């Protein structure tokens, strides 16, 4: 973590595009070129899509359900639902002293006066902190993105956003989406599962929290310290393989050894066992389940056209299964957050009530009303009718016999007495008009005892388990939102017993091919690689580096991944390591040189992990100034003697091979100071072992004009003996040298 990467470029991803259907370029109105007639008077419609933010069925539904207390509030609700969302983002809390730089710049921008109107309402602030988010880490701006680009006064803010987003210094995330991780109350030793994690905005937020350690001071107080190696871990899971790669990419930007990306159906997520064969129940679990998304209409206006009664009803069963599985995987005393970006009680309180019923008192809703008091929220609902195209039903008993198969009894609200017993008021509802956000639902639950038929009773020294592994009959993908039918679920998904251990020689199975799962398992280092590590430790002068926390992916051990103790514990259990479908884990820290002739050290430091490994290095770290860095950007493979004399001498004396460049200087004056880069010392020249995208992003940021001969080349050239292919592959974030193939 920290300033681990010189520059973090952001790859546009297909999934993001798919999810965010709003395409402002198609919605230009106003002047001939699409801009407003007067850049100070904006009409939000100018910047929004050409979709009327109305849907009669939706409006009737939510009026009947009674989410607003009266007509005046309803008007407010609809007014905000019909507007584009403010832009919101979080500052990355793990970038060390750079956080102060970002904050300074942001405050300077925030102080600038703006004089614009949107829909006739004056906007006086370009950007402001979100009041309920601690320590001014989250910010919002009501100015539409497109207006930022068009208006010269606002352009500086736009540049700030683009630059720091590219550098991984901030994450754009919807304000309400930041709420569930806050209530998860993560600590650095926690073992966490994010069950439906892609595209990963909440995972990255949790991952940042994992790197914060609470230190107890002598005076009895508490301080927060950013740590690069937590003991805990987060497994970020998603059923959609492609979305898992997006997730992996998002998480790689943070460079944490505590991440595991897995690809399972959340409702069948396997219980893991540690190296001693003990079940690894989790400390924290987030079930941010697939939902109708009817709280996101402001972001995805297309949803206005798509909403039907079936949108929520069709997902209730899957949501209940996922919530149940989450509760089963949780440690007694652990915390779970269930959330949706829907306002529909059948996806929210109904699921929570059903989970509490199934838990038979082992789960309870936590009253978090005193936490984050500036966050305006409504309590959970106690009663709601179930409405579908057949009619409106107050109780399951009211449904005609021949229609009962379409509606599960768990969709219906409990009796008022039972709702009170379950304390459904402790659920939280956030509506758009409360603080100009999307709509969201959050429930915080605690496990107080074992779940009925608690999973995890497993015989030691045997692979037999009472734990469910994925049943081939439940391998379906996400349930359709359009189906009206819904099986009434009476049993949990955990009661199936399997006695079939995973195949120890597991390669790729037919089922995996159907699910497009082709990843090789992560394994502990073989003895010969362990032996090689002695050379690596010596070459880089690694002091106290935890070599035992390294994994590889194949026999060739081309790349070595650094993981936290918690991840290591998972992989050490051979059976589990094969059962868990890991797409990626940890931090790629070393990459083998191949085809480079005789090299004293078989591995070079990967740019992905350079910031994390540099503090362990007592050799081969050279201090460069910002000007030296600019020279490296401008000149292809600069010769030693092109640098100042002292640095040229150090380079000459350095043994050939990989080394690390650390930029000196004061953070506030030299923006690149503290950045670290993996580099190669050739015979007479050096070059960066950094992907081209990252270099380009930095060059843009520092206004470096390219003086290199071949600007279209994707590789550095051959006066040095390592060449880095700078294009990233579609499916992974890896870069490969031209002399090596990725594993």
Ligand X SMILES: C[S@@+](CC[C@H](N)C(=O)[O-])C[C@H]1O[C@@H](n2cnc3c(N)ncnc32)[C@H](O)[C@@H]1O
Residues within the interface to ligand X (CB under 6 A): 177, 196-202, 238-240, 243, 265-267, 288, 290, 318, 478
Instruction: Please identify which of the residues 244, 341, 601, 658 carries the catalytic annotation.
Output: 341
Q: Which two tokens stand for residue 674?
A: 């503290």
Closer by beta carbon to ligand X, 198 or else 533: 198
The answer to whether 277 is a known ligand-binding residue is no
Separation CA 91–CA 169 (nearest Å): 6
Smallest distance from ligand X to CB 145, Å? 19
Q: Which two tokens stand for residue 299?
A: 């972001």
The answer to whether 244 is a known ligand-binding residue is no
Separation CA 421–CA 555 (nearest Å): 56
Smallest distance from ligand X to CB 19, Å? 8
Closer by beta carbon to ligand X, 447 or else 581: 581
Smallest distance from ligand X to CB 355, Å? 16
The answer to whether 156 is a known ligand-binding residue is no
Which three-class secondary structure state does DSSP give residue 537?
helix
Question: CA 721, 727, 732: angle at the middle one, nearest 5?
Answer: 110
Separation CA 271–CA 467 (nearest Å): 7
Closer by beta carbon to ligand X, 135 or else 478: 478
Closer by beta carbon to ligand X, 15 or else 721: 15
Q: How many helices (H) and strands (E) does the chain have?
A: 22, 30
Separation CA 345–CA 373 (nearest Å): 24
Burial class (CB in 10 A: 0-12, 13-18, 19+), 245: buried
Q: Which two tokens stand for residue 216?
A: 């107890």
Closer by beta carbon to ligand X, 321 or else 426: 321
Separation CA 517–CA 177 (nearest Å): 29
Separation CA 459–CA 510 (nearest Å): 29
Closer by beta carbon to ligand X, 267 or else 494: 267
Residue number, nearest CB to ligand X: 196
Closer by beta carbon to ligand X, 119 or else 512: 512
- Dihedral (C-alpha) 63, 67, 72, 76: value to the nearest 10 degrees? -100
Separation CA 54–CA 549 (nearest Å): 55
The answer to whether 565 is a known ligand-binding residue is no
Smallest distance from ligand X to CB 710, Å? 39
Smallest distance from ligand X to CB 205, Å? 8
Burial class (CB in 10 A: 0-12, 13-18, 19+), 218: exposed
Smallest distance from ligand X to CB 91, Å? 18
HEC states along 337-390? EEEECCCCCCCCHHHHHHHHHHHCCCEEECCCCCCCCCCCCEECCCCCCEEECC
Smallest distance from ligand X to CB 290, Å? 4
The answer to whether 199 is a known ligand-binding residue is yes
Closer by beta carbon to ligand X, 194 or else 740: 194
Residue among 445, 440, 429 nearest 177 (CA): 440
Residue 222 forms beta bridges with which residues? 216
The answer to whether 609 is a known ligand-binding residue is no
Separation CA 605–CA 560 (nearest Å): 10
Residue 724 forms beta bridges with which residues? 737
Separation CA 482–CA 476 (nearest Å): 16
Which regions of 483-535 does DSSP assign to beta strands (E)? 523-524
The answer to whether 270 is a known ligand-binding residue is no
Residue 405: phi and psi, rounded to 5, are -65, -20
User: How long, in residues, is the chain?
Assistant: 743
Smallest distance from ligand X to CB 191, Å? 18
Closer by beta carbon to ligand X, 243 or else 692: 243
The answer to whether 122 is a known ligand-binding residue is no
Smallest distance from ligand X to CB 497, Å? 22
Residue 68 designated active-site: no
DSSP letters spanning 427-468: SEEE-HHHHT---EEEEEEEE-SPPTT-S--B-TTS--BSSP
Q: Which two tokens stand for residue 95?
A: 């970038």
The answer to whether 200 is a known ligand-binding residue is yes
Separation CA 493–CA 451 (nearest Å): 13
Residue 623 forms beta bridges with which residues? 662
Contact between 114 and 140 under an 8 Å Cβ cutoff? The reply is no
Q: Which residues are catalytic?
A: 341
**Binding site, annotated residues for S-adenosyl-L-methionine:** 196-202, 238, 288
**Binding site, annotated residues:** 196-202, 238, 288
């Amino acid at each position: 973590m920290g300033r681990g990467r010189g520059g973090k470029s952001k790859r546009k991803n297909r999934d993001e595009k798919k999810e965010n259907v709003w395409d402002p370029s198609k919605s230009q109105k106003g002047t001939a070129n699409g801009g407003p007639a007067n850049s100070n008077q904006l009409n939000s419609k100018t910047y929004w899509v050409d979709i009327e933010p109305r849907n009669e069925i939706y409006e009737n539904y939510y009026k009947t359900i009674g989410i607003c207390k009266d007509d005046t509030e309803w008007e407010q609700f609809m007014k905000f639902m019909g507007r584009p969302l403010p832009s919101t983002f979080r500052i990355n809390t793990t970038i060390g002293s750079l956080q102060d730089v970002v904050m300074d710049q942001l405050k300077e921008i925030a102080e600038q006066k703006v004089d614009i109107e949107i829909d006739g309402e004056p906007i006086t602030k370009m950007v402001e902190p979100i009041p309920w988010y601690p320590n001014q880490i989250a910010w919002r701006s009501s100015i539409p993105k497109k207006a930022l680009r068009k208006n010269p006064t606002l352009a500086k803010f736009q540049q700030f956003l683009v630059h720091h987003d590219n550098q991984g210094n901030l994450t754009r995330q919807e304000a309400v989406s930041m709420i569930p991780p806050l209530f998860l109350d993560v600590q650095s030793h926690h073992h966490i599962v994010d069950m439906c994690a892609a595209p990963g905005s909440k995972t990255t937020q949790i991952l940042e929290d994992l790197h914060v350690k609470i230190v107890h001071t002598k005076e009895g107080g508490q301080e927060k310290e950013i740590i690069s190696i937590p003991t805990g871990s987060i497994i970020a899971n998603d059923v959609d393989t492609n979305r898992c790669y997006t997730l992996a990419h998002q998480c790689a930007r943070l460079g944490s050894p505590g991440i595991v990306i897995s690809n399972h159906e959340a409702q069948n997520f396997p219980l893991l066992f540690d190296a001693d064969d003990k079940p690894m129940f989790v400390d924290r679990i987030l079930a941010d389940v697939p939902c109708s998304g009817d709280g996101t209409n402001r972001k995805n206006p297309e949803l206005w056209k798509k909403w039907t009664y079936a949108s929520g009803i069709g997902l209730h069963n899957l949501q209940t299964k996922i919530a149940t599985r989450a509760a089963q995987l949780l440690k007694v005393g652990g915390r779970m957050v269930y959330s949706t970006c829907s306002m529909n009680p059948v996806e929210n309180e109904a699921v929570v009530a059903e989970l509490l019923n199934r838990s038979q008192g082992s789960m309870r809703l936590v009253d978090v009303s005193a936490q984050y008091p500036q966050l305006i929220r409504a309590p959970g609902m106690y009663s709601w009718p179930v409405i579908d195209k057949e009619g409106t039903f107050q109780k399951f008993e009211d449904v005609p016999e021949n229609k009962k198969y379409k509606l599960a009894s768990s969709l219906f609200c409990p009796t008022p007495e039972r709702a009170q017993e379950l304390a459904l008021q402790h659920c939280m509802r956030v509506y758009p008009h409360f603080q100009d956000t999307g709509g969201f639902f959050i429930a915080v639950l605690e496990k107080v005892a074992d779940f009925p038929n608690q999973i995890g009773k497993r015989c030691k020294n045997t692979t037999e388990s009472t734990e469910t592994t994925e049943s081939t009959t439940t391998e379906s993908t996400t349930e359709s939102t359009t189906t009206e039918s819904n099986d009434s679920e009476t049993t949990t998904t955990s009661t199936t017993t399997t006695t079939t251990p995973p195949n120890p020689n597991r390669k790729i199975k037919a089922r995996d091919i159907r699910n497009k799962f082709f990843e090789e398992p992560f394994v502990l280092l073989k003895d010969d690689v362990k032996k090689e590590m002695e050379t690596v430790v010596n070459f880089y002068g690694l002091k106290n580096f935890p070599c035992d926390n390294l994994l590889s992916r194949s026999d060739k051990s081309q790349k070595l991944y650094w993981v936290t103790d918690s991840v290591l514990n998972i992989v050490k259990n051979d059976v589990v390591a094969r059962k868990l479908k890991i797409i990626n884990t940890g931090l790629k820290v070393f990459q083998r040189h191949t085809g480079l002739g005789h090299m004293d050290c078989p591995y070079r430091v990967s740019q992905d992990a350079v910031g994390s490994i540099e503090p362990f290095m007592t050799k081969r770290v050279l201090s460069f100034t910002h000007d030296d860095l600019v020279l490296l950007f401008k000149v292809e493979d600069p010769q030693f003697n092109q640098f100042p004399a002292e640095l040229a001498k150090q380079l000459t004396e350095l043994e050939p091979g990989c080394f690390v460049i650390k930029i000196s200087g004061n953070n506030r004056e030299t923006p690149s100071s503290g950045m670290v880069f993996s580099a190669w010392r050739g015979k007479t020249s050096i070059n960066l072992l950094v992907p081209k995208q990252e270099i380009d992003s930095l060059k843009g940021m520092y206004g470096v004009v390219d003086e290199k001969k071949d600007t279209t080349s994707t590789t550095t050239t051959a006066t040095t003996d390592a060449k880095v292919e700078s294009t990233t592959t579609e499916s992974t974030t890896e870069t490969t040298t031209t002399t090596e193939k990725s594993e």
